C-alpha cells in the first residue's frame, strides 16, 4: 500500500480540530477539513483557535473530486449519515476510513456505505478537548486506538501499517490493540458511564475524581456494559473499571465530557448510542439494564426541557 499524504478531517469539532492541529504542525500540506456552504465561509474567515493559537486549515468542498488517502470522521453520531453524503466524492479505491465517533456502530454504517475493506476500527481515548464557538482547548490530546478486529503485532495489515507510519510522522499517539473489538467496547463502557453521569449531574471530571458517590453513580451504568460484554463475548471484565479510573485521574479536573458540553449548549445529545444501545442489547440478551433505562429517560427529559 502507498504511503498516506492526503488526509481529510470530516467533522472539525473539538476532537477533529485537535487531531487536525497535530497533523498541521508537522505536515501542513497533507491535511484538509471538509466544509460546505456557510461552514466553509465561516472557517475561511475565522479559522480555528486551538489552545489560543489560530490555525487556518486548508478547506475541501464536498464537490471537489479530490480523493483522500485517509479520512478521519469525527462528527456526532446523529450527523453520520449527512457526513457520508458529503464525503462520498473523497473516497477512492484505496482510501482508508477511521471513525472516531462514540459508540460501537459507526464502523458498520461506514462499511455499508463505502465497503468494509476501507474501514478500520478506531477510537480516541484520553482527550479532554472542549470547544466553544471556533475555539478549542485541551490539556491532553489522548491516543488513537485503531486496527482490524484482531491485530497480530508482528504482521499488521498494509492499511494498519500505513496509518501507523503516518501517525509516527505527525507525532500522533496511537495504539494498535491485538483485540480492537474489545478496545471499542472499553471506550463504549467509559462513554456510557462518564458521559451520561456528567450530563445528569452537570459535573466536570473533578467531581468524579474526588467524590466517591459521583464515581459510584458513573460506575453503576458501566457495570451494565461489562455484564453485557460477558454475555456477548466482547472481552470486558470487572478489572476494566479500575483501568478506567487511572485514565480518569489523568484528565484535567475542570474538563467536561462531550455530552455535558451538548447539554450546556442545549444541543442534541448522543443518548441513543449510549444508554439506548445498552437497553437494546440488554433486551436481546435477556438482561435487565435499569440504570441505563433511568439515564435514558433523564437525559431525554433534559433535552425536551431546553
Contact (CB, 8 A) for 54 and 174:
no
For 5, phi then psi, to 5°, come to -135, -5
Mean pLDDT of 182-194: 96
pLDDT for the residue 1? 65
- pLDDT over threshold 80, residue 287: yes
Strand, coil or helix: 124: strand
* Residue 5 to residues 75, 128, 226, 240, Cα–Cα distance (Å): 22, 27, 39, 36
Q: Which residues contact 60 (CB under 8 A, 6 or more apart)?
A: 8, 32, 33, 34, 35, 66, 90
The number of CA neighbours under 13 Å toward the Cβ of 197 is 24
- pLDDT over threshold 80, residue 2: no
pLDDT for the residue 121? 97
Q: What pLDDT digit, counting tens, does each position of 212-265 carry?
A: 999 999 999 999 999 999 999 999 999 999 999 988 998 889 888 989 999 999
* Residue 253: all three cell numbers together: 479536573
Q: What pLDDT digit, counting tens, does each position of 162-178 carry?
A: 999 999 999 999 999 99
Contact (CB, 8 A) for 14 and 77:
no
Which domains, and CATH codes, for the chain?
A: 7-178 (3.40.50.720), 181-304 (1.10.1040.10)
The number of CA neighbours under 13 Å toward the Cβ of 279 is 14
Strands 31-34 and 7-10 come out as parallel
- pLDDT over threshold 70, residue 31: yes
Q: CA-to-CA distance for 226 and 239, rounded, in angstroms?
A: 10
* Residue 248: all three cell numbers together: 480518569
Q: CA-to-CA distance for 107 and 86, rounded, in angstroms?
A: 17
Mean pLDDT of the chain: 94
Amino acid at each position: 500500500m502507498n504511503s498516506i499524504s492526503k488526509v481529510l478531517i470530516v467533522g472539525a469539532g473539538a476532537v477533529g480540530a485537535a487531531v487536525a492541529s497535530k497533523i498541521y504542525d508537522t505536515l501542513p500540506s497533507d491535511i484538509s477539513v471538509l466544509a460546505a456552504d456557510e461552514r466553509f465561509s465561516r472557517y475561511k474567515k475565522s479559522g480555528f483557535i486551538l489552545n489560543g493559537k489560530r490555525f487556518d486549515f486548508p478547506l475541501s468542498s464536498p464537490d471537489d473530486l479530490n480523493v483522500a488517502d485517509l479520512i478521519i470522521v469525527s462528527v456526532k453520531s446523529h450527523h453520520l449519515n449527512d457526513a457520508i453524503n458529503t464525503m462520498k466524492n473523497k473516497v477512492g479505491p484505496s482510501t482508508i476510513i477511521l471513525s472516531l465517533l462514540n459508540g460501537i456502530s459507526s464502523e458498520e454504517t461506514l462499511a455499508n456505505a463505502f465497503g468494509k475493506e476501507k474501514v478500520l476500527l478506531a477510537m480516541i481515548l484520553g482527550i479532554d478537548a472542549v470547544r466553544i464557538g471556533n475555539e478549542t482547548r485541551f490539556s491532553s490530546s489522548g491516543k488513537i486506538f485503531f486496527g482490524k478486529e484482531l491485530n497480530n503485532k508482528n504482521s499488521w495489515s498494509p492499511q494498519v501499517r500505513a496509518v501507523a507510519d503516518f501517525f509516527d510522522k505527525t507525532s500522533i499517539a496511537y495504539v494498535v490493540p491485538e483485540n480492537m473489538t474489545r478496545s471499542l467496547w472499553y471506550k463504549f463502557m467509559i462513554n456510557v458511564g462518564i458521559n451520561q453521569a456528567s450530563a445528569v449531574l452537570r459535573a466536570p471530571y473533578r467531581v468524579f475524581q474526588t467524590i466517591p458517590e459521583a464515581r459510584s453513580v458513573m460506575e453503576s451504568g458501566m457495570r451494565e456494559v461489562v455484564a453485557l460484554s460477558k454475555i456477548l463475548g466482547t472481552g470486558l471484565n470487572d478489572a476494566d473499571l479500575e483501568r478506567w479510573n487511572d485514565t480518569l485521574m489523568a484528565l484535567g479536573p475542570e474538563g467536561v465530557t462531550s455530552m455535558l458540553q451538548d447539554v450546556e449548549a442545549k444541543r442534541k445529545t448522543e443518548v441513543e448510542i449510549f444508554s439506548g444501545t445498552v437497553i437494546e442489547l440488554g433486551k436481546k440478551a435477556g438482561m435487565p439494564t435499569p440504570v441505563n433505562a433511568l439515564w435514558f429517560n433523564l437525559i431525554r427529559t433534559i433535552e425536551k426541557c431546553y
